[in-house]
């Protein structure tokens, strides 16, 4: 039983860390969105505006992905908290079947690719 409690606390720690990380990335996307609005308010040609629209769309998609991942983390944290009161649930098996870890890795990879592209764009147009 003690091992199970330690394992659950480790899982909860990972989930809470991921939620904080996702919150950070959501705030970062808000900042990038503001920078794009700064560029849009200037009178640039289509060479600047076409990629700008693309980035705005990608930010919307990223924010949606962040929201879904945060929700999944929150849901799993609730399951961990209920584990103490319901011994019939084997939370470790549920986590082992889940692809949340892989989804987080994929999200972070794509996030940093987007961030690099946006930073290059900002260097050119700001």
19-41: pLDDT as tens digits = 999 999 999 999 999 999 999 99
d(CA 23, CA 17): 10
Q: Give the start-to-end residue ranges of the domains of the chain.
A: 2-125
Give the number of other CB atoms < 10 A from CB of residue 62. Answer: 21
d(CA 2, CA 36): 51
d(CA 34, CA 39): 9
78-98: pLDDT as tens digits = 988 887 555 545 555 555 555
Q: What pLDDT does residue 82 have?
A: 82
Tokens 């103490």 belong to which residue? Answer: 84
Give the number of other CB atoms < 10 A from CB of residue 41. Answer: 8
Would the pTM of this model clear 0.85, i.e. be above it? no
Q: What pLDDT does residue 1 have?
A: 43
């Amino acid at each position: 039983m003690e091992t199970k409690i330690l394992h659950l606390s480790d899982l909860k720690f990972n989930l809470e860390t991921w939620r904080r990380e996702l919150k950070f990335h959501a705030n970062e996307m808000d900042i990038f969105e503001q920078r794009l609005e700064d560029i849009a308010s200037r009178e640039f040609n289509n060479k600047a505006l076409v990629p700008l629209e693309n980035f705005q769309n990608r930010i919307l998609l990223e924010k949606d992905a962040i929201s879904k991942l945060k929700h999944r983390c929150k849901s799993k944290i609730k399951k961990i908290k209920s584990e103490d009161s319901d011994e019939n649930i084997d939370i470790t098996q549920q986590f082992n079947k889940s692809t949340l870890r892989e989804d987080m890795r994929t999200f972070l990879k794509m996030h940093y690719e987007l961030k690099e592209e946006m930073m290059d764009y900002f260097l050119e147009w700001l």
